[in-house]
Amino acid sequence: MLVSGQGTTLQALIDACAGPAFPARLAIVLSNVPGVYALERARRAGIPAAVIDRYAYPSTGAFETALRAALDGAGVELVCLAGFLRILTPAFVDAFAGRLINIHPSLLPAFGGKGMYGDRVHAAVLRAGCRVTGCTVHFVTAVPDSGPIIAQAAVPVREDDTVADLAARVRVEELRLYPEAVRLFTEGRLRIEGDRVRTLPAPVAAGPGVGDRAGGRPQEAGAAGTPGTAST
């Protein structure tokens, strides 16, 4: 998981992964910003955590090479961005194509793109007089906030809302929606078809004695479409 801040979304995934029925585990947390609280959350949960600071590397390419090495070394199969305040290069995105996801605090494609994050998004929603907003989990592509949409949740915008009011209402849905999107990926239920994502029906539970999936060791997932236990 890639983070840059306090780690509230990270905490939602830590809590989800602690459930015995949740089909994923957090393999590593990487921050591009030293000292953020997200790192402490990871350490308290016993999850390996490290800082990979862009300014410690001579180029963006070298920085992303270090990110990739850490993710690959941890055996990561799904990369989750959670408040990661850097735009990743097309080379990095291509390396994790179909297994790199992000959450954005609006109903994309509205209020997305470069420079649109956090309270900037909510302020823009209020200025536009929107009656509804929300959040979106999507696959990451080379164009910021433009990848195929996995899931969305909507909330009302009230007449007297402040930016803080709206952010808090959207945040509740973000913390619910992101673990659900990770679950869908890990269960192999997401199929990218062009610019869209099709969500497949939940698999029918197998009866006893049908191999590892029924009663033995969970399989490790490789890519979207392969059910099992994924590492994020």
CATH 3.40.50.170 applies to domain 1-96: yes
Closest C-alpha among 199, 190, 181, 229 to residue 13: 181
Residues known to be catalytic: 104
pLDDT digits (tens, 9 = 90+) for 133-184: 999 999 999 999 999 999 999 999 999 999 999 999 999 999 999 999 999 9
Same fold yes or no, 1-96 and 102-197:
yes
pLDDT digits (tens, 9 = 90+) for 11-59: 999 999 999 999 999 999 999 999 999 999 999 999 999 999 999 999 9
Taking residues 84-104, report their average pLDDT. Answer: 96
Q: What is the mean pLDDT of the chain?
A: 90
Phi, psi of 93 (to 5 degrees): -60, -45
Burial of 232 by CB count in 10 Å (0-12 exposed, 13-18 middle, 19+ buried)? buried
pLDDT digits (tens, 9 = 90+) for 178-217: 999 999 999 999 999 999 999 999 877 655 443 332 233 2
pLDDT digits (tens, 9 = 90+) for 101-122: 999 999 999 999 989 999 999 9
Q: What percent of the chain has pLDDT above 70?
A: 88
Number of CB atoms found within 10 A of residue 132's CB: 11
Asked if residue 227 has pLDDT above 70, the reply is: no
Phi, psi of 190 (to 5 degrees): -110, 125
Task: Label residue 149 left, alpha or beta by phi (over 0 means left) and psi (-120 to 50 means alpha).
Answer: beta
Q: What percent of the chain has pLDDT above 90?
A: 85
Closest C-alpha among 69, 158, 67, 141 to residue 104: 141
Q: Both tokens of residue 232? A: 């994020």
Distance of CA 53 to the CA centre of its chain: 20
Instruction: Kindly list the domain boundaries of the chain, sorted by start residue.
Output: 1-96, 102-197
The pLDDT of residue 210: 33
Higher pLDDT, 37 or 232: 37
CATH class of 102-197: alpha beta
